[in-house]
Amino acid sequence: YKPVRLIFQQVKEMQVNRQLIAMNRGRNTAIDEFKNSQNAVLFATGSMWEGVNIPGDVLSHLIIVKLPFPIPDPISDYEKSLYQDMNEYLKSVLIPKMLIKLRQGIGRLIRSETDTGVISILDVRAGDAGRYHQEVLHVLPECRRAERIEDIRTFLKEKKDNSYFE
């Protein structure tokens, strides 16, 4: 939550011409506030991916800062002890769980065949030379790939009404 809060503060200080909404622990009104907004920016953590339904074209850009690997806990510690080495555990448990969570996150953005949006994955481990590049590409829906921010702008202008940019 702390990195989300820090980024939210930095963007807020830039005085962007958008409503900014931060989803914090215990703040259940953020999702409703976002759904009712016009072109707001929602700052949220992975918990937003579970049990949240934002139908239609309200959500347009999902920015994933870090791949959603599971957070260690006593159960995962025990699970890890069942494997002879970390690589085997990584391949058998951690990567599949991360990919499921990533697919859930993407599912918040693309709910139906008519939904459009941009998925930006900033984690270098998903990049062209990244360790998980192929696995991540495999779970993404069939789509165009952008290399520059201008590509994203062009895509959104093709897909969204002019009111989206007001």
Please compute the mean of the pLDDT values over residues 133-149 and round it to a whole number. 90
Please compute the mean of the pLDDT values over residues 56-72 and round it to a whole number. 85
Average confidence score pLDDT of the chain: 86
Q: What is the pLDDT of residue 159?
A: 85
| pLDDT band with cut points at 50, 70 and 90 for residue 26 | low
| Residues 69-72: contacts with CB under 8 Å, at least 24 apart | 69/94, 69/97, 69/98, 70/94, 70/97, 70/98, 70/101
CA of 12: how far to CAs of 16, 51, 73, 77, 118, in Å? 7, 27, 34, 39, 22
* CB-CB contact of 124 with 89 (8 Å): no
Nearest to 68 by CA among 105, 18, 20, 17: 105
Give the integer Cα–Cα distance in Å for 116 and 143: 10
Q: Which of the pair, 92 or 109, is modelled with greater confidence?
A: 92
pTM of the model: 0.81
Nearest to 99 by CA among 52, 134, 144: 134
Q: Which of the pair, 53 or 20, is modelled with greater confidence?
A: 20
Angle at 125 between CA 23 and CA 102, to 5 degrees: 45
Q: What is the pLDDT of residue 132?
A: 96
| In the predicted structure, residue 51 carries a pLDDT above the cut 80 | no
Rg (CA), the chain: 17
| In the predicted structure, residue 27 carries a pLDDT above the cut 70 | no
Please compute the mean of the pLDDT values over residues 85-108 and round it to a whole number. 92
Q: What is the pLDDT of residue 163?
A: 76
| In the predicted structure, residue 29 carries a pLDDT above the cut 70 | yes
